[in-house]
Amino acid sequence: MDVQVLTFLIVGITFALYIGIAIWARAASTQEFYVAGGHVPPLANGMATAADWMSAASFISMAGLISFIGYDGSVYLMGWTGGYVLLALCLAPYLRKFGKFTVPDFIGDRYYSQTARTVAVICAIFVSFTYVAGQMRGVGVVFSRFLEVDITLGIIIGMGIVFFYAVLGGMKGITYTQVAQYCVLIFAFMVPAIFLSLMMTGSPIPQIGMGSTMADDPSVYLLDKLDGLSESLGFNAYTEGKKSTIDMFCITAALMVGTAGLPHVIVRFFTVPKVRDARKSAGWALIFIAILYTTAPAIAVFARVNMIDTINGPEAQGVAATEAPGWIDSWEATGLVTWEDKNQDGRLFYSGDERNEMTIDRDIMVLATPEIARLPAWVIALIAAGGLAAALSTAAGLLLVISTSVSHDLLKRNLMPNISEKQELLFARIAAAVAICVAGYLGIHPPGFVAEVVAFAFGLAAASFFPAIIMGIFFKSMNREGAIAGMICGLLFTTIYILVFKGIVMEPLLPNTPEYWLLGISPEGIGTVGMVINVIVAISVWKVTPPAPPEVQKLVESIRYPQQIKA
């Protein structure tokens, strides 16, 4: 069977599996819709958390970023993995003890304010829609290449699948669907990595293969070969970075604390029966996440070497256009790879200077790697199923956050407190349906490549949610006035900065170059400054306003000290 038939077959089987699970795990109550009834076993919850975590940015775009920018791409590895550890150790157990459904629920009750709840709802929706845009973009990329349909149609198909199991099953359906999606995505990611490691270095372990010598030339290390190729073609050495230290620090910090403030990941710790189970599921999730995150740098190196060799040839003269490898023709049809014959010699050439004739979208690297390396057709089809699983699992989690923020936090806990549970569940499903339509529009008209958009979402979460949550747990006298002012100022500053340099919904007002950035900090890292502004504003306002009431301070103490409450 050819690649397209195999892709339809494998993707069709996985979609049928997701739909079957959604029907089996249909939510019958608001508690099942919001937190899966709180009865998910730690192992399953850890797997679902990993699938929720490892979005299209992790599966599709992270290795592509590292492949293109080398050492500088390490900020994504450090930030996202460090952020999960921060979340698991400093936030998850305490939020689970608090026992609320959502982050806005925690902020509203902790800061004894409907205004704080409303601001948190706005932040949750804003961050989630920014993040989900990247996921739907990933869905479109996969569909456009492997199923050979228009990106718009591909996104609509993805919307339909997510609509079915998110609206029907809520958190209960999403959780067990994400367990299946984790199995699909991790298998799809590891199989090509093992194949490539064996082919290029002789090692079956990709993490070891990346630092090994070439199988066809044991005197040359793989990374040394890539450094030499990069420098000879006008790129920076792969193992050396060009970002400033302050920008590297700020991007890593923004990703790290933004990760710890992402509402769709935090809510996963409310789906287990006990606080002890939340800790166990955090540990399992870290193991499951580490499998992919330690493999991504290896995939990046293998893909980069293979890509350069197949385009430029072993003598770096460029292959004749009539002999171009099949993967170039396949991806040119999607518009994500283009060739301009600048010197009219009829040959392809890829470089980092004026000689370059190839434009390659970095989001295709993981998806195209099996084709570049001429791996079996079933591996190519498998990678498509894995990319869709990664994008759809996170998109579903984000859409549920938007749905619960509207139905539970905005309506039930604020505007319409007297609605019945049945009405609340109906509003939740309506909100999820509307959110899916908006997410689809953002996927059709994406504001950037996948990992870049996701980085902005993390920056916004860092500047808004994280300080309010961490101070809510560890700063018992922090009051509502300080928290509200901090969230608003942090979110506004970060949003305006991103809009000024990246545009997204308008033309950029200033060139996106280091000489124009504040202190040399890029838009991807500005969330760190927004977080600092949030904290400074919150503490300043707290000092001139009454502290939190005594009963709230006692509540905070009960969250932090386990012997005072039941697990």
pLDDT at 531 over 90: yes
Q: What percent of the chain has pLDDT over 70?
A: 90
Q: What is the pLDDT averaged over residues 30-39?
A: 65
- Amino acid 106: pLDDT: 82
SS3 per residue for 302-356: HHHHHHHHHHHCCCCCCCEHHHCCHHHHHHHCCCCEEECCCCCCCECCCCCCCCC
Q: Are the beta carbons of 433 and 167 closer than 8 angstroms?
A: yes
> Of residues 273 and 450, which shows the higher confidence score?
273
pLDDT at 396 over 80: no
What is the C-alpha separation between 511 and 397, in angstroms, rounded? 35
What is the C-alpha separation between 230 and 238, in angstroms, rounded? 6
- Residue 165: band (very low, low, confident or very high) from pLDDT cuts 50, 70, 90: low
Q: Could you tell me the two tokens for 105?
A: 């629920």
pTM of the model: 0.78
Best mean pLDDT range from 75-84, 325-334, 429-438, 519-528: 519-528
Q: What is the pLDDT averaged over residues 140-145?
A: 73
Distances from the Cα of 419 to the Cα of 168, 289, 413, 424, 484, angstroms: 20, 40, 10, 6, 27
Distances from the Cα of 51 to the Cα of 22, 86, 171, 258, 285, angstroms: 16, 18, 13, 18, 9
Q: What is the distance between the terminal CA atoms of the chain, rounded to a whole angstrom?
A: 54
- Residue 540: band (very low, low, confident or very high) from pLDDT cuts 50, 70, 90: very high
Burial of 112 (0-12, 13-18, 19+ CB in 10 A): middle
pLDDT at 567 over 70: no
Provide the 10 A C-beta neighbour count for residue 476.
19
Q: What is the CATH number of domain 3-311+370-465?
A: 1.20.1730.10
> Of residues 123 and 37, which shows the higher confidence score?
123
Q: Tens digits of per-residue pLDDT, 302-351?
A: 989 888 888 887 666 778 888 888 888 888 877 778 888 888 888 888 88
One-letter identity of residue 517: W
Averaged confidence pLDDT in the chain: 81
Q: Tens digits of per-residue pLDDT, 210-254?
A: 999 998 888 889 999 999 888 888 888 888 888 888 999 998 988
Where are any strands of DSSP class E within 348-493? 358-360
Q: Are the beta carbons of 427 and 411 closer than 8 angstroms?
A: yes
pLDDT at 565 over 50: no
- Amino acid 197: pLDDT: 93
Distances from the Cα of 367 to the Cα of 32, 246, 393, angstroms: 35, 32, 18
Q: What is the pLDDT averaged over residues 168-186?
A: 79
**Low-confidence winner among 29-43, 233-247, 255-269, 487-501 (lowest mean pLDDT):** 29-43
Where are any strands of DSSP class E within 30-106? none
- Amino acid 505: pLDDT: 57
- Residue 566: band (very low, low, confident or very high) from pLDDT cuts 50, 70, 90: very low
Burial of 259 (0-12, 13-18, 19+ CB in 10 A): buried
- Residue 528: band (very low, low, confident or very high) from pLDDT cuts 50, 70, 90: very high
Q: Which residues contact 554 (CB under 8 A, 6 or more apart)?
A: none
**Low-confidence winner among 106-120, 450-464, 536-550 (lowest mean pLDDT):** 450-464
What is the C-alpha separation between 113 and 115, in angstroms, rounded? 5
- The domain locations on the chain are 3-311+370-465
